[in-house]
Structure 1
Amino acid sequence: MKSSRLLSILLLLQTRGRMTAAQLAAELEVSVRTVYRDVEALHTAGVPLYGDAGHRGGYELLAGFRTRLTGLSAGEAEALFLTALPGPAADLGLGPALAGARLKLRAALPPGLRAQADRMSRRFHLDAPGWYAEDDAVPFLPAVAEAVWRGRVLAVRYRRWTEPTDVGRRLEPYGLVLKAGRWYVVAARPGGSGPRTYRVDQILELTVTGEEFDVPDDFDLSAYWQAHQRDFHARLHRGEALVRLSPRGVARLTGAAARAAATTGTDEPDGWTRAVLPVESPDHAHDQFLALGTDVEVLAPDELRTRLAETARAVAERYAAGA
């Protein structure tokens, strides 16, 4: 374990340059004291590693020093082959590059690791989109990716949900995110208040300008996306509905509704479950509960219960008229 950690310190410093003990400790998930001991062990082994104290201090390898101890463990080789997603790579225009990289990596592995990596590829296949989602047309994705990489401002015509639907925007693209088979670009507007999220498939026209920009040093794409998801879910379910569910109805719930039923549900004498479920909007709640048919009874709010009753009467009258 320690030898693996020492190698990780060497590779981190080799790829990232100067790092503090605190940064190394956070990266390796160990204490700062452990990093101090590991650095001392590297010194003893003759590694040209030096450190500076102070606010701008940290550890750094002597200029020109590079380690050749870059061999992969079995788990690392398997993970690299498992994380390759040919679909998204093709979307970005990197399909041939990914295939070439996999071929070169496979050829460089020792026979034992090569066999394990091949077995991983045969046993696991990653397919990100959902079953019922149509593939989005993203003709501008390679251009967006290039602008992200080169730090170029985009001039786009973008389709949004609110009026006016089609708007012009100048965007500074900070990064790309693939979520459930759909591509999003996180971008700021020049002079704006901060980054926002845009669906790449909703870009109608795009021009990559010659204007350059710099991504703020404190911007973390992963942290931004996690915060964006938390905010999305907080805004998604703004209401609640008190319902009764049959056992079949409980089994048909998914996502947030299923979790709410598990935490708020109470059993009733007739075998049904009374629970408080989150709802997005009156329209969505109406369609959601209507789809459960006779396996649900909405008790509150009264407006939703009344609307469902009106829909049920209209459906009954339509089928009665055709009988």
Structure 2
Amino acid sequence: MAKWDNMLSILWMLRSGRKLTAAQIADSLEISVRTVYRYIDALCASGVPVVAESGHDGGIRILESFQETPLFFNSIELKALVDAFKFAEGAGYPYTEELESALAKVENGLHEEQRQDLSRQASGLDVISPARPPSVVPLLRDLEQAEKDGRTVRIVYRKANAEQEDERVIDPYGLAYDRNEWYAVAFCHRSQAVRTFRVDRIVRLAQTEARFEKPERFSASAYFRDRSEREREADGPLTVIRIEGEQGALNAVCGHWHLRHYLTERTDREARFLLDVPTMNKYLPMYLMTFGTAIRIREPLELKRRIREMANGIAKQYEDDSD
């Protein structure tokens, strides 16, 4: 059993209220008496009021005033907590301040050697976050609260490249973080369907008096997956798409909001997808053309032929251009 597990076991044994001898604890945990005393010293250093009484009725006990059980983390667990905070902060997580406060409480319970070790362990990772409007955090909080309360909200929304703002009444079902952006998945009263709204495009939000009931077991992530499935043109036949290219270009192709659901294999130089032929023919030639020579289609031949025809058509359009 690991050191921290043994320390917690000793703590739970002592919190029963009984006095225990070091020998009794050692027999129960199958460790030496000397190790027991070492763990007791560590508990005392962590702020646990352990008292050792000598004599016929003596033993080891915890003062009755002790109420809370301290948490014990090894160095990698502490590093993971700090790194998780960095990722949450980079994602624009709406409760970053509360998370930072909780982490500070954990760090305050460490002794100086642990703090120094944590500083060394966690100094090698940084998360570079995209720029976001300052309004995103309060919007995320308001949307989450509306989802929890079952409260319909009215939003003013601006689509990408739209000249005018648009007002919608929505029932927020959940939030999702996808491709460095936050999305509200909500039932839109105007379209009478579930839709996604990029939170950074919400200009204003106001609560209404209306209430709603979220569908049982609704999942925002499942909705994103289902939406991708609905984008398919047909159920079949399926074909293997094999794309070779530079790592950066492949990362972009594999991270495409639709294609990533059909990725079956990925190496440093190649990616394979399994997709139905009608969807492939409709969407992929134009999209893959945008990568130029950074990628190369290995199969299927039909996709290679369509891209070649498209490229030839573009070249022909400009071959007689005298400018």
Q: What TM-score comes out, normalization by structure 2 length? A: 0.53
* Residue-by-residue CA offset, 1:140-170 (whole Å, 9 max, x unaligned): 5413413422624210133458x9x965332
Equivalent pairs counted in the alignment come to: 240
Query: Deviation at 1:300?
Result: 2.2
Query: Structure 1 residues 178 and 291, CA, compared in 2 at 3 Å: closer, same or farther?
Result: closer
Pairing 1:300-315 to 2, within 5 Å after superposition: 300=302, 305-315=308-318
1:126 aligns with 2:122: no
2:187 corresponds in structure 1 to: 188
Letter in 2 for 1:84: F
Change (3 A) 1:230 1:97: closer
CA offset at residue 73 of structure 1? Answer: 1.8
Q: 1:276 to 1:187 in 2, by over 3 A?
A: closer
Secondary structure of the 1:183 match is: strand
**Structure 1 stretch displaced more, 95-104 or 151-160:** 95-104
The one-letter amino acid paired with 1:234 is E
Quote the residue 1:104 is aligned against: 105
Cα deviation for residue 99 of structure 1 reads: 4.2
Q: TM-score, with normalisation over the residues of structure 1? A: 0.53
Q: What 5-or-longer segments of structure 2 have no aligned partner? A: 10-65
Q: SS of 1:288's equivalent?
A: helix
Alpha-carbon distance in 1 for matches of 2:144, 2:137: 10
Equivalent residue runs for 1:223-238 within 5 Å:
224-225=220-221, 227-235=222-230, 238=233
> Contact 1:136–1:182 at 8 Å: present in 2 too?
no
Amino acid at match of 2:198: R
**Corresponding residue for 2:60?**
none
The correspondence of residues 284-295 of structure 1 with structure 2, limited to 5 A, is 285-289=285-289, 291-293=291-293, 295=296
Deviations 1:279-301 (A, max 9, x none): 66746522423533495588426
Matches within 5 A, 1:158-169: 158-159=157-158, 167-169=166-168
Q: Which runs of 5+ in 1 are unaligned?
A: 9-65, 130-134, 264-272
Q: Percent sequence identity over matched residues?
A: 20
Give the residue type in structure 2 aligned to 1:145. R
Report the RMSD for the aligned CA atoms in angstroms: 5.0
By how many angstroms is 1:213 displaced? 5.1
- Kindly indicate whether the alpha-carbon contact (under 8 Å) linking 2:154 and 2:206 is maintained by their aligned counterparts in 1: yes
| Equivalence for 1:40 | none
| Partner Cα distance (1:229, 1:296) in 2 | 27
2:176 corresponding residue in structure 1: 177
- Which residue type is aligned with residue 178 of structure 1? Y
**CA distance in 1 between partners of 2:265 and 2:315 (Å):** 24
Moved more, 287-296 or 186-195: 186-195
The C-alpha deviation readout for 1:18-72, integer Å capped at 9, x for no partner, is xxxxxxxxxxxxxxxxxxxxxxxxxxxxxxxxxxxxxxxxxxxxxxxx9733413
Q: Give the C-alpha shift of residue 309 in structure 1.
A: 1.4
Aligned residue type for 1:300: E
Could you tell me how far apart the structure 2 residues matched to 1:137 and 1:87 are?
16
2:85–2:96 Cα contact (<8 Å) kept: no
Distance in 2 between residues matched to 1:309 and 1:261, nearest whole Å: 30
- Cα distance between partner residues in 2 of 1:314 and 1:97: 59
**Matched residue, 1:208:** 207
Decide which structure has the larger Cα Rg and report it: 2
Cα deviation for residue 139 of structure 1 reads: 2.5
1:14 is matched with which residue?
none
Q: Is the CA contact (8 Å cut-off) linking 2:152 and 2:209 kept in structure 1?
A: yes
Distance 1:76 1:292 in 2: 44
Q: How does 1:220-299 map to 2 (within 5 A)?
A: 221=219, 224-225=220-221, 227-235=222-230, 238=233, 253-254=250-251, 255=254, 282=282, 285-289=285-289, 291-293=291-293, 295=296, 299=301
The code of the aligned residue for 1:180 comes to R
The letter for the 2-side match of 1:110 is H
Task: Specify the SS of the correspondent of 2:197.
Answer: strand
| Letter paired with 1:207 | A
